[in-house]
Amino acid sequence: MPYLENLEEFAARQGCPYVTRPGGRLLFANGAQAFGDALLVDPPPGVFECLRLELEFWSVRLKAEEDAFRQYRNDCLETARLAAKFSNVCPPPTDSVEQLRKGQRAILELRERVQAIREQLEQSPEAEAERAALARRAEQAQQRSAVVQEIGAIDI
Domain boundaries, the chain: 1-43, 46-123, 125-156
- Rounded to whole angstroms, the Cα distance separating 6 from 45 reads 22
Give all strands of the β-sheet with 18-20 in edge-to-edge order.
18-20, 25-28, 33-35, 39-41
- Rounded to whole angstroms, the Cα distance separating 106 from 111 reads 9
Position 3 scores a pLDDT of 62
Task: Using DSSP bridges, classify how beta strands 25-28 and 39-41 pair: parallel, antiparallel or unpaired.
Answer: unpaired
Q: What is the mean pLDDT of each run of 10 residues along the chain (156 residues)?
A: 78 94 91 88 92 96 97 97 94 96 98 96 82 83 87 85
Contact, 34 vs 8, CB < 8 A? no
- Rounded to whole angstroms, the Cα distance separating 126 from 49 reads 11
